């Protein structure tokens, strides 16, 4: 079983739409959670960390459900510039490393 699983998509949504991505992780001892954004042929960059209480950064909202071991990312009022692959990342101390999902592809259509 993979450490981190994401729906690969692709998600094709019109501008202005709201879109949500989910991610599940297998290790209940996982400690830290992140969403990274990766543009085509570029390196991953931190979008936001995910906190237990949920957190928001502008149009982006991240949620963590430890009981069900999933993380979500909500993007409101999608922009063309949001088109990218979104990576779910989990840090587990017992494995002592970061685990990356395969990414969810988003294309925002004019």
Partner 1 sequence: NAGVTQTPKFHILKIGQSMTLQCTQDMNHNYMYWYRQDPGMGLKLIYYSVGAGITDKGEVPNGYNVSRSTTEDFPLRLELAAPSQTSVYFCASSYSKSGNTIYFGEGSWLTVV
Which chain residues interact with partner 1 by CB under 8 A? 2, 4, 8, 31-32, 34, 41-46, 49, 87, 89, 91, 93, 96-103
Direct distance between the N- and C-terminal alpha carbons of the chain, in angstroms, rounded to an integer: 38
**In this structure, are strands 44-50 and 97-100 parallel, antiparallel, or unpaired?**
unpaired
Task: In angstroms, give the least distance from the CB of 110 to partner 1.
Answer: 27
Determine contact, residues 30/23, Cβ cutoff 8 Å.
no
Residue closer to partner 1 by CB (options 64, 78) is 64
- DSSP character at residue 70: E
Task: In angstroms, give the least distance from the CB of 6 to partner 1.
Answer: 9
Task: In angstroms, give the least distance from the CB of 33 to partner 1.
Answer: 9
Residue closer to partner 1 by CB (options 20, 93) is 93
- Neighbouring C-beta atoms of residue 38, cutoff 10 Å: 17
């Amino acid at each position: 079983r993979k450490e981190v699983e994401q729906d690969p998509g692709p998600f094709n949504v019109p501008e202005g739409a709201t879109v949500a991505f989910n991610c599940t992780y297998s290790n209940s001892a996982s400690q830290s959670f992140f969403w990274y954004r990766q543009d085509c042929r570029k390196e991953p960059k931190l979008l936001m960390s995910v906190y237990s209480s949920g957190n928001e950064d502008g149009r982006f909202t991240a949620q963590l459900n430890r009981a069900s071991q999933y993380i979500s990312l909500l993007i409101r009022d999608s922009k063309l510039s949001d088109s990218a692959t979104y990576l779910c990342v989990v840090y587990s101390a017992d494995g002592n490393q970061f685990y990356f999902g395969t990414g969810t592809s988003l294309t925002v259509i004019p």
